[in-house]
Amino acid sequence: MATNRQAAASSPWRAPIVLAILAVLFVLEGTVRNGMFSGSWNTALAILNMGLISAIVALGVNMQWGYAGLFNVGVVGFLAVGGLAPVLVSLPPVEGAWDAGGPRLILSLLVGLGVLAAAKIVYTRWRKGWLVALVLIAGFFLFRHLFDPAVVAIEANNPARHGNIGGLGMPILTSWLVGGLFAAAAAWAIGKVALGLRSDYLAIATLGIGEIIVAVLRNEEWLARGVMNVTSIPRPVAYEIDLQRNPDFAEFAAGWGLPVAEASGIWVKLSYMSLFLVVLLAIMLLAELALKSPWGRMMRAIRDNETAAEAMGKNVTGRHLQVFILGSAVIGIAGAMMVTLDGLLAPTSYNPLRYTFLIWVMVIVGGSGNNWGAVLGAVLIWFLWIKAEVWGPALIGLLTGPMADGPLKAHLLESAPHMRFIAMGAVLLLVLRFAPRGLVPER
């Protein structure tokens, strides 16, 4: 990095002020019902829960960008691969799927990995391009020979309800860790290739891996049913319907003066919130400790001047790979948490604009290099992003009020929801230019 981001000190009150603003916004959302706020705690908590998950993603991105200056444009892919974990780990096993083709499938995947490893060995040993190509082509046909029949057999197994390989039936919370591992593996593969080259190359390569992971989720029906979605992912918290049937809970709700249906929704969302807060604070603690340790100082030294750090004997590419994997693992954990919260894996919902670039806006606005900044920025931007859906059309309606009815007015009203993209792009550009250190700058 040419720009030294440890510039003038800033007020230590910035983070508490942003936190206070956030608290006020959420209380308003929960209590005031008017054109701007919904006045429902259920809505407010739903926004907050997704905001907390976004905050964890932002922490991961901040490790990559803020600590090391790595630009990851494939956040959506790491989120999606993390989201695969709840399906593969926590769903109950699908009857007959394993017998239909499980061992053959595993074997084919192992063969696929083996072929890649063999190609690598051949290349390091003989340095012959054609030999590597030969290994890869033969390996590809062997892989497809093993893989295709297994997939056909698994997908033929009760296709209306399952048609996928099914899960291991393990507790859902373990899948969060596994999600992190999945994302870390993907990050290792891509980092090995693209790190150590020109800085744009990592960006382009992550853009590619992001699209490919989402394409795999969409099309490999044996894995997670593709576009047919996987629903009824087990929950770590109570179900609303059970709470509503529970007389004790009804009494408890009456004590607060709330209808049982609303109270049960709030209860569930509060339980999720506590879980997410625990994860967020744990990751935050680790991240802060790492940043303040000699390791963190080394990372920032590398970011601020790679050449100098290399001259001091630091392995720049190795450290970059390390932090890239760590950051992606955090994103993967958040991906698994998101699928758990939704109770649903819907591959079509992984849109890069929404998941990659919005996260980037969060990190840049919050303050790259500062974990608190990333978290607060994430919750704030998420709140604004959701509310912009309501506020945008209202604003356009206000502005176009005096206009005569006509096709132009209709078009403007109709396209008001798209204003969010322009607004977010503008926010990113403005912050990047006029306040590059963000709301809560790096200390």
What is the rounded CA–CA span in Å between residue 192 and residue 8? 36
Q: Which is nearer to other proteins, 24 or 429 (CB)?
A: 429
Looking at 109, 211, 386, 397, which residue binds other proteins (CB under 8 A)?
211
Residues 122-141 touching other proteins, rule: CB under 8 A, are: 129, 140
Report in angstroms how near the CB of residue 75 gets to other proteins at its nearest.
12
Q: Which residue has the tokens 């790492």?
A: 290
Shortest distance, CB of residue 162 to other proteins, whole angstroms?
21
In the bound complex, what is the minimum distance in angstroms from residue 219's beta carbon to other proteins?
Answer: 4
CB 148: neighbour CB atoms within 10 A?
13
Toward other proteins, which CB reaches closer, 209 or 336? 209
**215 touching other proteins, by CB under 8 A:** yes
The pairs formed by 152-161 with CB atoms below 8 angstroms and a separation of 24 or more are 152/101, 153/100, 153/101, 153/104, 154/97, 154/100, 154/101, 154/102, 154/105, 154/222, 155/221, 155/222, 156/100, 157/94, 157/96, 157/97, 157/100, 158/94, 158/95, 158/96
Question: At its nearest, how many Å lie between other proteins and the CB of residue 204?
Answer: 5
- Under 8 Å between Cβ of 417 and 389: yes
> Could you give the string, one character per residue 399-438, with x where binding to other proteins holds by CB under 8 A and - elsewhere?
----------------x--xxxxxxxxx-xx--xx-----
To other proteins, the closest distance from the beta carbon of 306 in angstroms equals 10
Least distance (Å) from other proteins to the CB of residue 226? 9
Q: Calculate the alpha carbon distances from 158 to 124, 229, 398 in Å.
A: 46, 15, 54
The owner of tokens 């206070």 is 20
Q: Which is nearer to other proteins, 55 or 195 (CB)?
A: 195
When the beta carbons of 11 and 199 are compared against other proteins, the nearer one is 199
Q: What is the C-alpha to C-alpha distance for residues 336 and 174, in angstroms, rounded to an integer?
A: 10
Indicate which single residue of 1, 24, 156, 308 sits in contact with other proteins (rule: CB under 8 A). Answer: 1
* Closer Cβ to other proteins, 73 or 275, answer by number: 73
Quick one: which segment of 45-53, 192-200, 238-246, 273-281 binds other proteins (CB under 8 A)? 192-200
Interface with other proteins in residues 337-366 (CB under 8 A) = 352-353, 357, 360-361, 364
Contacts of 160 (CB under 8 A, 6+ apart): none
Instruction: In angstroms, give the least distance from the CB of 173 to other proteins.
Output: 33
Give, as ranges, the residues between 364 and 403 that touch other proteins (CB under 8 A).
364
Decide: 343 and 322 in contact? Cβ < 8 Å. Answer: no
- Quote the CA–CA distance of 399 and 394 in Å, as a whole number: 9
- How many CB atoms within 10 Å of residue 326? 20
| Residues forming beta bridges with residue 161, ordered by sequence position | none
Using the minimum distance from each CB to other proteins, give the nearer residue, 221 or 240: 221
204 binds other proteins (CB under 8 A): yes
Under a CB-based contact definition with an 8 Å cutoff, are residues 116 and 249 in contact? no
Show the site string, 19-58: x = touches other proteins by CB under 8 A, - = not.
----------------------------------------
Look-up: residue for tokens 């693209």?
Answer: 194
Q: Within positions 58 to 97, which residues make up the interface with other proteins, using CB under 8 A?
A: 69, 71, 73
Q: Is 291 in the site for other proteins (CB under 8 A)?
A: no
Q: Which of 238, 432 has the CB closer to other proteins?
A: 432
Which residue's CB is nearer to other proteins, number 44 or number 380? 380
Question: How far apart (Å, rounded) are the C-alpha atoms in residues 399 and 78?
Answer: 40
Question: Would the CA dihedral through 18, 24, 27, 33 be positive or negative?
Answer: negative
Of 24 and 430, nearer to other proteins (C-beta) is 430
Which pair of tokens denotes residue 41? 């705690």
Closest CB to other proteins among residues 287, 428:
428
* Residue 228 engages other proteins in binding (rule: CB under 8 A): no
Q: For residue 133, how many other CB atoms are within 10 A of its CB?
A: 12
Cβ distance to other proteins smaller for residue 380 or 424: 424
Q: Is residue 209 a contact residue for other proteins (CB under 8 A)?
A: yes
DSSP letter string, 306-350: HHHHHHTT--HHHHHHHHHHHHHHHHHHHHHHHHHHHT-B-GGG-
| Interface residue list for other proteins (CB under 8 A) | 1-3, 69, 71, 73, 129, 140, 193-194, 197-201, 203-205, 207-209, 211-212, 215, 218-219, 352-353, 357, 360-361, 364, 415, 418-426, 428-429, 432-433
